[in-house]
Each structure stands twice: as C-alpha cells, then as structure tokens.
C-alpha cells in the first residue's frame, strides 16, 4: 500500500496523510478528466504520494513533484526509478525557472492557513501554461464556513474561477482538526489570473508558526 511508504509526518510542515482510498479516487478523477493523458502535471508538495497513485494511469504524461521535504522526494525517486521527476524547493522562494508556465495541471494539498493557501495558489498559477487545459486542483478542509468563505474569496482575488467542487472528497488519517476530510477544488484560469505573491514570501505558511 502507498500509505505504508510514507515517512512519519512532520508537523512543522503540516503533513498528514490521505487514505489509500483517497489516493485511488484522486488518480481516477484526474484520469477521467484527461489530465493523465498527453499532459504535464506538477504536484506542489506530495507527502500523500498522490504521484505514485497516478503513475500507473499516466499515458505520455510527465509527472513532477516539488517538495521541501527530501525524505518524501527520496521515497518517490526510489519507488518510481526516476519516472516521476523531483525538485527539492521551499515555496517561500520563487519557483525555479524550469517550472514556470509549462504545466497543464498543478495539484496540491497545501497548508490550510490563509497565508499558506495564498502562497501555494500563487506558485501554482505561475507554473501553469497559458493553454485551454490549464487547471489547478487542490484540497482544502475546514470545519468553519467563514474560513471556507475567505478561501473562496482568495481564489477570486487571484483571478481564478471555481470550475468544480467535490465536498468531502479527501479522507485523512488522524486529521481531527478538519474532521478527517477536505473538499476537492478544480480551478480554471482566466485572462485576469495572476499570482498575489511573486517574489520571496516572508510571512507565515504553516499552522505552527
């Protein structure tokens, strides 16, 4: 099982893992939407190891993972024999040039802080191609509807629209603070899409900060 491959979660990175069933559901969802065929996908952070669940479904598709955690990247390298490309990087710093404007889909399960969400969404927008297929898909969980409202306002502030929303799509192991579930969003870019954060990020990212 993929979940058994994960290292012990590092709470200072807000790591908590999705269930094996959720990983399969994510891979199925992306395959059904055509993102795993003739595509290029970037996972912004992948403690869940969603990239591993997607690899067997990928056809003529490049899978990339960017993560700050070298232990996670080492597992992905070992398990895929280099078929999933990895980049060690802290998103507080601007994206590497080779990752700019070249992905059809960016998938992320980011920190659920307002600052973390804005940072990951900004970096995701910068990584997207200008093509018609370009989408951002991400997970977000909160038991507070006011926080969800703030998130959706932040999405619009980035010039993105919510194309699809799957409530309670993702289930987690030991994530009581969000009720062990999160929603799955699919965002579509518009002509007004823009990152709110372009350079270095000096503020908070994770809940412990």
Per-residue pLDDT of the chain (209 residues; tens, 9 = 90+): 999 999 998 988 888 899 999 999 999 999 999 999 999 999 999 999 999 999 999 999 999 999 999 999 999 999 999 999 999 999 999 999 999 999 999 999 999 888 999 999 999 999 999 988 999 999 999 889 999 999 999 999 999 999 999 999 999 987 777 788 999 999 999 999 999 999 999 888 988 77
Per the domain annotation, does 198 fall within a domain? Answer: no
> What pLDDT, on the 0 to 100 scale, is given for residue 12?
87
Structure tokens at 97: 């040039």
Residue 194 forms part of a structural domain: no
In a domain, 205, yes or no: no
CATH of the domain at 144: 3.40.50.150
- Domain assignment present for 7: yes
Give dist(CA 86, CA 75) in Å, integer: 10
- Phi, psi for residue 88 in degrees, rounded to 5: -85, 120
Q: What is the pTM of this model?
A: 0.95
- pLDDT value at position 142? 86
Residue 64: how many other CB atoms lie within 10 Å: 21
Number of domains in the chain: 1
Reported in sequence order, the residue ranges of 45-131 that DSSP labels E, i.e. its strands, are: 62-67, 84-88, 105-108
Residue at 91 is within a domain: yes
Q: How many other CB atoms are there within 10 angstroms of residue 95's CB atom? A: 21
197 lies in a domain?
Answer: no
Is 150 contained in some domain? Answer: yes
Rounded Cα–Cα distance for residues 163 and 134 (Å): 12
Residue 178 lies in domain: 2-189
């Amino acid at each position: 099982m993929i979940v058994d491959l994960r290292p012990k979660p590092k709470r200072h990175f807000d790591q908590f893992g999705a269930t094996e069933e959720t990983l399969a559901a994510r891979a199925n969802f992306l395959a059904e939407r055509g993102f795993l065929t003739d595509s290029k996908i970037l996972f912004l952070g992948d403690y869940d190891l969603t990239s591993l669940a997607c690899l067997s479904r990928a056809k003529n598709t490049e899978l990339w993972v960017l993560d700050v955690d070298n232990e996670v990247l080492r597992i992905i390298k070992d398990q895929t024999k280099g078929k999933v490309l990895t980049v060690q990087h802290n998103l507080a710093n601007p994206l590497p040039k080779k990752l700019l404007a070249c992905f059809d889909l960016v998938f992320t399960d980011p920190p659920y802080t307002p600052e973390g969400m804005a940072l990951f969404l900004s970096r995701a927008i910068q990584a997207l191609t200008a093509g018609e297929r370009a989408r951002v898909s991400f997970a977000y969980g909160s038991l507070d509807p006011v926080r969800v409202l703030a998130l959706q306002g932040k999405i619009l502030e980035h010039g993105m629209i919510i194309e699809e929303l799957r409530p309670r799509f993702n289930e987690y192991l030991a994530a009581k603070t969000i009720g062990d579930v999160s929603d799955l969003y699919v965002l579509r870019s518009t002509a007004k899409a823009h990152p709110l954060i372009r350079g270095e990020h000096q503020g908070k990212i994770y809940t412990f900060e």
